[in-house]
Amino acid sequence: MNKAQVFDFFQRLAEANPHPETELESGNSYQLLVAVVLSAQATDAGVNKATRRLFQQVRTPEDMVALGEDGLKQHIKTIGLFNTKAKNVIALSEALVADHGSQVPDDREALEKLPGVGRKTANVVLNVSFGRETFAVDTHIFRVGNRTGLARGKTPLAVELKLEKAVPQPFRLHAHHWLILHGRYVCKARTPECWRCIVADLCAFKPKTPAPRGKAAPASAGGDA
């Protein structure tokens, strides 16, 4: 895509959803950090189901340390890799208490030093909790970036760096949410629903998937939808 097409791409997504938000439920930056760590290789819906009761009991790192690893496992045992995740969440909570005054740091390097926290998790926390213009490349964004031609790359980091260069203002703050939601609900992994995609005419993916019988493409999708 050229610059004008990229601007048009995000403008359409923004008009359709002016205030995109993460679908992970949390009440503060610490709970968000925990939720994002738990969401690795798991669905947001599954994490939310597990954390609703947990977050009624746990609001701070001290609360989590007091709950303990075994107690945490009882809350998150429905989530994949829950044993490893419980160990990491307790360890990162202890580190926050010991090294950060029980506060989630607003620094990428400090976040990535916490157990279980990688670049994607750090980017989510920086964006959602601290308003940073970061691009948290998950499987949805990786797919959408490559499939559409918006940001092609062989690794999540390569796609992230392409997005850093390509995404213009005023879309940078919410860009990764628009892309995640688009990948989750429209540009799906197995069968992208091109017939109802509002940016289909800007997308490099061929061939476009046709509308099922009885369904019509949205008027704003462009002539090639």
Assess whether pLDDT exceeds 70 at residue 217: no
- In the set 73, 85, 138, 201, the catalytic residue is 138
Is the per-residue pLDDT at 218 higher than 70? no
The reply to whether the predicted model has a pTM over 0.85 is yes
Over the stretch 79-108, which tens digit does the pLDDT of each residue have?
Answer: 989 999 999 999 999 999 999 999 999 999
Binding residues for [4Fe-4S] cluster: 187, 194, 197, 203
More confident residue, 81 or 218: 81
Q: From CA 71, how far away is CA 90, in angstroms rounded?
A: 10
Instruction: Determine how many CB atoms are found less than 10 A away from the CB of residue 130.
Output: 13
What's the distance, CA 158 to chain centroid? 17
Q: Where in the chain is the domain with CATH 1.10.1670.10?
A: 3-19+136-221
Average pLDDT over residues 6-25: 96
Annotated binding-site residues read: 187, 194, 197, 203
Q: How far apart are CA 146 and CA 154, in angstroms?
A: 9
Task: Find, among 85, 84, 33, 88, the residue nearest to 60 by Cα.
Answer: 33
CA dihedral 91, 46, 81, 107 (to 10 degrees): -40
Q: Which CATH architecture has domain 3-19+136-221?
A: Orthogonal Bundle (1.10)
- Give me the CATH code for the 29-130 domain, please: 1.10.340.30
Answer yes or no: are the C-beta atoms of 64 and 72 closer than 8 Å. yes
Q: pLDDT band at 155, cuts 50/70/90?
A: very high
Active site residue 120: yes
pLDDT by residue (tens digit) across 158-206?
999 999 999 999 999 999 999 999 999 999 999 999 999 999 999 999 8
Domain with CATH 1.10.340.30 in the chain: 29-130
